[in-house]
Amino acid sequence: MHTVASILTCGADNTFSTQINKIISHPTLPLLISGHENKHIKFYDTNSGKCVFTMSAHLDGVTTLDVDQSGLTLVSGGHDGSIRFWDISSTTRACLQEFTAHRRKADEGVLSVQFHKKLPWLVSGGADGIIKAYQHGI
């Protein structure tokens, strides 16, 4: 039998609590990144559990996140049907590109995004029942 023990709690201060739709860990930095129903993305330091950055990211809830292998680019998808690329190497975490990827259905849009581990691809899946692949970083 395996045992589980809590080692970190983030966002427990309730100053900005909202439904979390997705959480990922950064591949090289001590960060957790969360996508929220209130349109925001938050960055947490895994050493302290403290939120170190919050940004307004989509016109509707953020549903999915991924970081590329370099650790420099974050991709997010939302109920608004859009996919957005973010430069997370900068202090401002600027949006690099935004495009509509999936049609909304039942108030949902983009449900999943993922960078391919070896190819320069991003794939997305939406409430419209479609999987799409995009070339990234070329």
In the chain the domains, ranked by start, together with CATH numbers, are: 20-135 (2.130.10.10)
Chunked into runs of 10 residues, the chain (138 residues) has average pLDDT values of 81 70 96 96 94 94 96 96 94 89 84 94 94 85
Q: What is the pLDDT of residue 107?
A: 81
**Which residues have C-beta within 8 Å of that of residue 120, sequence separation ≥ 6?**
135, 136, 137, 138
- Please give the pLDDT value at position 2: 80
Edge-to-edge strand order for the sheet containing 31-36? 20-25, 31-36, 40-45, 51-56
What pLDDT, on the 0 to 100 scale, is given for residue 137? 72
Q: For residue 90, how many other CB atoms are within 10 A of its CB?
A: 10
Q: What is the pLDDT of residue 16?
A: 57
At 105 the pLDDT is 83
| pLDDT confidence of residue 29 | 94
- In terms of C-beta density within 10 A (0-12 exposed, 13-18 middle, 19 or more buried), how is residue 71 classed? middle
pLDDT for 131 equals: 96
Give the model's pLDDT for residue 52.
93
**How far is Cα 134 from Cα 3, in angstroms, rounded to an integer?**
41
In the prediction, which pLDDT does 18 show? Answer: 84
